[in-house]
Structure 1
Amino acid sequence: MSLLGTPVPAQAATGEVVVFEVEPIPLKVYTDPSGCVKLPPAAHVLINQTDKPVRTYSDPLCLGPSLTVQPGYGTHVAPGSGSFSV
């Protein structure tokens, strides 16, 4: 946040966030992600291959409680309407 109370835009991460849904669906790859990204409906696992921490949320708007996934790590995500942000 800036001193005036307006949000400072997030800088894009370098690398990829990879999301696994189910076996018949190809991996979803987000290259150099920035801001809030809605996860696919069947998202099951998120892997952070960027140079910045990624936060996962259980809602589609990156609001509420979140889990931080450090670079080089992954996490299970609940199928439905989740999101992630960088």
Structure 2
Amino acid sequence: MVFSTEIQPLGIYTDPTGCTKLPITAHSLDNQTDAPVVVYADPLCLTPGITVNPGHGAHLPPHSGSFSMD
């Protein structure tokens, strides 16, 4: 689940596969899956990423580009 702004609905990603682009306004990510999620600075999942473990959340760096399931 991705929170962007107070005026936007939460971004819900059901069974994401591969590299998934984040909205430009993404602010925080809540990992409600059973697997780690890796957040990348670029939209192609090529840069080093930060891992968000299951049941945890993280503030996203400004203009985070994408995420993938580990």
Aligned position for 1:85: 68
Superposition RMSD in Å: 1.0
Residue 22 in structure 1 maps to residue 22 in structure 2: no
**Greater relative contact order (CA < 8 Å, ≥ 6 in sequence):** 2
Deviation at 1:55, TM superposition (A): 0.3
Task: Tell me, in whole angstroms, the C-alpha distance in 2 between the residues paired with 1:43 and 1:79.
Answer: 8
In the TM superposition, 1:27-46 aligns within 5 A as 27-46=10-29
**Identity of counterpart residues, as a percentage?**
61
Residue ranges of structure 2 left out of the alignment (5+ in a row): none
Largest Rg, 1 or 2: 1
Task: Tell me, in whole angstroms, the C-alpha distance in 2 between the residues paired with 1:32 and 1:51.
Answer: 11
How many equivalent pairs are there? 69
After superposing on structure 2, the runs of 4+ consecutive aligned residues of structure 1 that deviate more than 6 Å are none
Task: Tell me, in whole angstroms, the C-alpha distance in 2 between the residues paired with 1:26 and 1:68.
Answer: 24
TM-score by length of 1: 0.76
TM-score by length of 2: 0.92
Residue ranges of structure 1 left out of the alignment (5+ in a row): 1-17
Aligned to 1:62, the other structure's residue is in SS state coil
